[in-house]
Structure 1
Amino acid sequence: MSNDANDPHDHDDSHGADAAKGPEGLRKGLTNYGDQGFSLFLRKAFIKGAGYSDDALDRPVIGITNTGSSYNPCHGNMPQLLEAVKRGIMLAGGLPMDFPTISVHESFSAPTSMYLRNLMSMDTEELVRAQPMDAVVLIGGCDKTVPAQLMGAASAGIPAIQLITGSMLTGSHRGERVGACTDCRRYWGKYRAEEIDAQEISDVNNQLVASVGTCSVMGTASTMACVAEALGMTVPGGASPPAVTADRIRIAEQTGAQAVALARQGLTIDRILTPAAFENALRVLLAIGGSTNGIVHLTAIAGRMGIDIDLAGLDRMGRETPVLLDLKPSGQHYMEDFHAAGGMATLLRELKPLLRLEALTVTGRTLGEEIERAGDGFAQDVVRPFDQPIYPQGGLAVLRGNLAPGGAIIKQSAADPRLMEHEGRAVVFENSADLANRIDSDDLDVTADDILVLKNIGPKGAPGMPEAGYIPIPRKLARAGVKDIVRVSDGRMSGTAFGTIVLHVTPEAAVGGPLAHVRNGDRIRLSVKAREIALLVSDEELAKRAAENPVVEPTADRGYRKLFLQTVTQADKGVDFDFLRAAKTTGKAPERD
């Protein structure tokens, strides 16, 4: 893979070819004063004001993204991680330099963290470019931070390594083990259905998040942790240790040391993020019952490398890649159980016949070599044998039809099997406000056999494609004991959620996709077996509706929102900004038949 494909911006000092010359340290990317000698002299003068010696400044410089924030409890262990990473860098003979970047937390970001993912990726990319570093350690955990960092690092092109902050511990409520956030949704559903009272929902609120760290189930954060290791972007075992454990701190130290090795070897990120690596990541995404968000994020990261994610190929892979990881919401366990069961090494050992073992990792060894180095497995019940899966196909399925010409996604491993072949009447909500105003009304005309349709929560419609696709069960149905209903939208859903929910309908309603023209009473057919989501309305009638009610795309007058609305792509392109994708296509994943 060529560096020009990796780097559409064509900067001078961030290419893999430059890194291959060996560490440049403080001499890299000198500020332009018209005199390079003076530029280096001035840089060293200022940094010496912080007490650095010439000996320290003559070492490989390793940047560390500091994403600590009081608004981000998922990154609450950042001080300990920074200390351990710095220790590893110094033990390996490097000079650690941490720097702050945007920190995005899922539940503290309005209107949605996805709206800020691309901004964080740009922040990461440009600070990596602007500041002298021979390699960078990317510390992230909460949902959008890991993809944002990998996107930014992919564009910057220097040696990079990912450090995951780690999952939280589980809590206990009235003798039941609970953890964010599948259990959050389960208990909130009970509260909405009036099965538990205000006191109990308050009590469980104190127990769902037992420590700092990311969600303890297979939500987007855990998904991206596993995906990052599958991509070869973490040290072996980097995905699973919980945030507050000694194992996580030791991984951080190893990560710092490996960053120095990357700098000395000139092992740039384009040699890691190859089509083979993305194929491995997709296999793992399917086998862990991973978040539907993983598709969007992997597509965006691959796009920064000029690689297309082939949804049809992904669906073929899904038919032969079973769900092996028994973790909520597809199974019963939590991330700390996965770690105790051997973590990713245990999973990769089972998936080995399906993996591209030649893919290079940040250790300088191939994925196949790392699986061999991990040794034999041991008895455990969290990762199932390949021939005894918890679900016979991959967790995700790609749907198409006249309602979603560009595709849609369903997490079949977390859906009700009885509803995956279903035809029903559409109950339509035009946007999130309409949903909020009517979903709990006793006058809502809805039955358990209907299909809830929510429009205008896609990339441009919301904007930012929020996780509003987990449409709540109408209160009148929840009270009657209904636990699931087919739901369709152009938005996303948290990886911690569950239900028969069709997401990422492309094109979205806000740009005139067929979803925009669905009306109350229309019939919709869902067939996961046939990979179909169909609106049972003629093409002529849809064209008539479009002519009568033309869609006007949302706009903004200024600022980041204007940039977002003008340049954001659809879900099948990763919801990235169009100008950030690599200009030259270099491959496709999955690329094998």
Structure 2
Amino acid sequence: MSSSKTSSKPKLRSAEWFGTADKNGFMYRSWMKNQGIPDHEFQGKPIIGICNTWSELTPCNAHFRKIADHVKKGVLEAGGYPVEFPVFSNGESNLRPTAMFTRNLASMDVEEAIRGNPIDAVVLLVGCDKTTPALLMGAASCDIPTIVVTGGPMLNGKQEGRDIGSGTVVWRLSEEVKAGKISMHDFMAAEAGMSRSAGTCNTMGTASTMACMAESLGVSLPHNAAIPAVDSRRYVLAHLSGNRIVEMVDEDLRLSKVLTRGAFENAIRTNAAIGGSTNAVIHLKAIAGRIGVDLALDDWTRIGRGTPTLVDLQPSGRFLMEEFYYAGGLPAVLRRLGEADRLPNKDALTVNGKTLWDNVVEAPQYNDEVIRPLDNPLVEDGGMCVLHGNLAPKGAVLKPSAATPELMTHRGRAVVFEDFDDYKARINDPDLDVDADSVLVMKHCGPRGYHGMAEVGNMGLPAKLLEQGVTDMVRISDARMSGTAYGTVVLHVAPEAAAGGPLAAVRNGDWVELDAYAGKLHLDIDDEELQARLAEHDPTQASRQIASSGGYRQLYIEHVLQADEGCDFDFLVGCRGADVPRHSH
């Protein structure tokens, strides 16, 4: 290597800790050496942090110790030195009330761990739903070279010789039990076969969606999103990511050079093509806010609408993530979009130093049933529907690929539940005044009202209607829903009821109009009546009661932004960089 090229390398952050011959350098090196690290590892090598969300309480990420070992091999091979560190693991499957409640907490953990430690770059080990946005948010606020390695989806679930999707099958079978179509024994028999290997949900739920978002944003190597968790190629990708992150330090390829406006536009278009989770709307906004990209809710209409859904995966379609990978994975989808001039920014830079289009222009496509051609899509227009109107002044969202086409335009009487507890208490009451044309409305389940905005928006239908053969209804709330769920479900209504939003004013019997194609969500009362009702409502009562317990809950309620703003904390928005005040021992 020439001396001119060597001199052009950026100065290592870690040198501020390990590169001096004074008292501080002595102490930093000496403490690290108690782990058996030889002196030459501190001599000008990039120190690569491996940010690990491994936890036995996060089963999706329970295999990450092995993945981390393969990343380390890659780092060492490329001439760097790896240091693994843990951060808060906010797994969706066990954590109450929802992992969304601790997404921002985990991002704070990541940000301060990166900024405060002697690392020159970071590999983010992500998998379960909120670990991907949380780690990217934290890293974006520091803006050092960063690469994402996902844990991968689990193998296809099995029940009675058929493939079943993790998460999605729960919603379907639980409705069938209530409808009397299957026995409780049949329901419980599916439990063991649903999750039969390491990895995240094998449907296009939030975990798989966010893995695809990371790849389409350019922050991971190609094929990262879909390789099954137990496939040996997952470990090869981890190894190669370890190689690449060392090169990124030499190139000063920081996150801000990858997470550009163009990258986010590519991700929005990709979400429509894969039938991705509504949760991506919130998470991409939060990540963009940290890196300083202005991303608005209406960008989903401008960029995403008109994009066909090509990936035939549950919950929108038939197949699972194994088939998606074997059919060509996300590179095959991006190639099809690009060949049809549907990829907004082909020249967006990715972490391997190439453009997104360079990475996928020759991507193989093996199965036109799983990844459909544009002239035979699963859904003609799969772009996320952003809704506005007097019921959602700041917007709401609906996922068209998971909805019933006949319900995308609908007018019905509201059946109102004041909160999730009210819903649970009354939904199966035989005397509930509800029919198939009714619109189920649930309040106080947004970021403040149900601290964390739990995934309860896809309300189960009344048992008496299920018994009549009803399979879908229009549902409206300020909550989220799992990416594994389906139905004509309006979510993320903003402002939420607990923040004084108009949702709080809806009463039983009110007429509600949905026109997803026109982006309209309307409560059929005049403005004067709406304002009079809101004047009678104290939106802060529920949140004050929760916040009075103090601790993180109070911090959350006092500082969380609304859904249209990404539900980040107001004081976390923005890129603060990696500089840290020097400390002298």
Alignment TM class, shorter chain as reference:
over 0.9
1:47 aligns with 2:32: yes
Match of 1:496 among 484, 493, 500: 484
- Contact 1:154-1:304 within 8 A present in 2 as well: yes
- Contact 1:232-1:272 within 8 A present in 2 as well: yes
Match of 1:128 among 86, 100, 114: 114
> What aligned pairs does 1:100-139 form with structure 2 within 5 A after superposition?
100-139=86-125
Greater mean deviation of Cα atoms: 51-60 or 534-543: 51-60
Match of 1:56 among 26, 38, 41: 41
Greater mean deviation of Cα atoms: 526-535 or 488-497: 526-535
Moved over 6 A (4+): none
Counterpart of 2:256 in structure 1 is 270
Match of 1:68 among 54, 57, 71: 54
SS at match of 2:517: coil
- Contact 1:67-1:102 within 8 A present in 2 as well: yes
Match of 1:568 among 547, 555, 560: 560
State how far apart, in whole Å, the 2-side matches of 1:380 and 1:529 are. Answer: 28
- Contact 1:23-1:264 within 8 A present in 2 as well: no
Structure 1 residues 536 and 36: alpha-carbon distance in aligned structure 2, compared to 1, 3 A threshold: farther
Counterpart of 1:409 in structure 2 is 397
SS at match of 1:217: coil
Give unpaired runs (5+ residues) of structure 2.
Answer: 1-6, 577-585
Counterpart of 1:250 in structure 2 is 236
Greater mean deviation of Cα atoms: 378-387 or 355-364: 378-387
Structure 1 residues 527 and 29: alpha-carbon distance in aligned structure 2, compared to 1, 3 A threshold: farther
Match of 2:495 among 507, 530, 539: 507
* Aligned residue identity for 2:36: G
* Aligned residue identity for 1:484: D
- Contact 2:273-2:307 within 8 A present in 1 as well: yes
Say how many residue pairs are matched: 562
SS at match of 1:156: coil
Counterpart of 1:456 in structure 2 is 444
1:400 aligns with 2:388: yes
1:183 aligns with 2:172: no
TM-score scaled by length of structure 2: 0.93
State how far apart, in whole Å, the 2-side matches of 1:506 and 1:215 are. Answer: 28
Counterpart of 1:16 in structure 2 is none
- Contact 2:301-2:383 within 8 A present in 1 as well: no
Match of 2:463 among 453, 459, 475: 475
Match of 2:347 among 358, 361, 367: 358
State how far apart, in whole Å, the 1-side matches of 2:223 and 2:540 are. Answer: 48
Greater mean deviation of Cα atoms: 377-386 or 354-363: 377-386
1:163 aligns with 2:155: no
State how far apart, in whole Å, the 2-side matches of 1:29 and 1:292 are. Answer: 43
State how far apart, in whole Å, the 1-side matches of 2:17 and 2:262 are. Answer: 32
SS at match of 2:85: strand
Deviation at 1:318, TM superposition (A): 2.8
Deviation at 1:23, TM superposition (A): 5.3
State how far apart, in whole Å, the 1-side matches of 2:156 and 2:567 are. Answer: 32
* Aligned residue identity for 2:563: A
- Contact 1:67-1:101 within 8 A present in 2 as well: yes
- Contact 1:290-1:395 within 8 A present in 2 as well: no
Deviation at 1:118, TM superposition (A): 0.3
Give unpaired runs (5+ residues) of structure 1.
Answer: 1-18, 585-593
SS at match of 1:207: helix
1:240 aligns with 2:226: yes
SS at match of 1:328: coil
Match of 2:71 among 64, 85, 88: 85
State how far apart, in whole Å, the 1-side matches of 2:439 and 2:464 are. Answer: 15
Structure 1 residues 305 and 184: alpha-carbon distance in aligned structure 2, compared to 1, 3 A threshold: same
* Aligned residue identity for 2:553: R
SS at match of 2:245: helix
SS at match of 2:571: helix
Structure 1 residues 264 and 219: alpha-carbon distance in aligned structure 2, compared to 1, 3 A threshold: same
CA deviation string 1:68-102 (max 9, x = no partner): 11101101211210111111111111101000111
Deviation at 1:317, TM superposition (A): 2.4
1:154 aligns with 2:140: yes
Deviation at 1:269, TM superposition (A): 0.4
TM-score scaled by length of structure 1: 0.92
State how far apart, in whole Å, the 2-side matches of 1:93 and 1:255 are. Answer: 13
CA deviation string 1:181-228 (max 9, x = no partner): 111211111112221112111111111111111000000000000000
State how far apart, in whole Å, the 2-side matches of 1:112 and 1:345 are. Answer: 32
Deviation at 1:503, TM superposition (A): 0.3
- Contact 1:63-1:99 within 8 A present in 2 as well: yes
Counterpart of 2:129 in structure 1 is 143
1:466 aligns with 2:451: no
* Aligned residue identity for 1:44: R
Deviation at 1:444, TM superposition (A): 1.2
Structure 1 residues 510 and 337: alpha-carbon distance in aligned structure 2, compared to 1, 3 A threshold: same
Counterpart of 1:7 in structure 2 is none
State how far apart, in whole Å, the 2-side matches of 1:576 and 1:30 are. Answer: 35
* Aligned residue identity for 1:367: L
- Contact 1:288-1:395 within 8 A present in 2 as well: no
Structure 1 residues 583 and 166: alpha-carbon distance in aligned structure 2, compared to 1, 3 A threshold: closer
Counterpart of 1:12 in structure 2 is none
State how far apart, in whole Å, the 2-side matches of 1:342 and 1:535 are. Answer: 45
State how far apart, in whole Å, the 1-side matches of 2:486 and 2:364 are. Answer: 34
- Contact 1:322-1:394 within 8 A present in 2 as well: yes
- Contact 2:202-2:320 within 8 A present in 1 as well: yes
State how far apart, in whole Å, the 1-side matches of 2:328 and 2:464 are. Answer: 44
CA deviation string 1:213-248 (max 9, x = no partner): 100000000000000000000011111101111011
Deviation at 1:563, TM superposition (A): 1.1
Deviation at 1:321, TM superposition (A): 1.2
- Contact 1:20-1:265 within 8 A present in 2 as well: no
- Contact 1:523-1:535 within 8 A present in 2 as well: yes
State how far apart, in whole Å, the 2-side matches of 1:235 and 1:503 are. Answer: 32
1:526 aligns with 2:514: yes
1:436 aligns with 2:428: no
SS at match of 1:199: helix
Q: Percent same amino acid among aligned pairs?
A: 46
State how far apart, in whole Å, the 1-side matches of 2:239 and 2:11 are. Answer: 20
Deviation at 1:265, TM superposition (A): 1.2
SS at match of 2:67: helix
* Aligned residue identity for 1:49: N
State how far apart, in whole Å, the 2-side matches of 1:217 and 1:398 are. Answer: 23
State how far apart, in whole Å, the 1-side matches of 2:373 and 2:275 are. Answer: 15
State how far apart, in whole Å, the 1-side matches of 2:453 and 2:484 are. Answer: 17
- Contact 1:20-1:267 within 8 A present in 2 as well: no
Counterpart of 1:294 in structure 2 is 280
* Aligned residue identity for 2:35: A
SS at match of 1:200: helix
Deviation at 1:543, TM superposition (A): 1.0
- Contact 2:308-2:374 within 8 A present in 1 as well: yes
Greater mean deviation of Cα atoms: 575-584 or 214-223: 575-584
SS at match of 2:125: strand
State how far apart, in whole Å, the 1-side matches of 2:556 and 2:190 are. Answer: 38
Deviation at 1:376, TM superposition (A): 4.8
SS at match of 2:444: coil
Counterpart of 1:218 in structure 2 is 204
State how far apart, in whole Å, the 2-side matches of 1:530 and 1:87 are. Answer: 53
1:333 aligns with 2:324: no
Deviation at 1:464, TM superposition (A): 0.7
Structure 1 residues 26 and 313: alpha-carbon distance in aligned structure 2, compared to 1, 3 A threshold: closer
Counterpart of 2:580 in structure 1 is none
Counterpart of 2:4 in structure 1 is none
State how far apart, in whole Å, the 1-side matches of 2:358 and 2:304 are. Answer: 25
Structure 1 residues 54 and 320: alpha-carbon distance in aligned structure 2, compared to 1, 3 A threshold: same
Deviation at 1:513, TM superposition (A): 0.4
Match of 1:385 among 373, 381, 404: 373
CA deviation string 1:466-522 (max 9, x = no partner): 101011101111122211111000010111100010000011000110000100010
Deviation at 1:548, TM superposition (A): 2.4
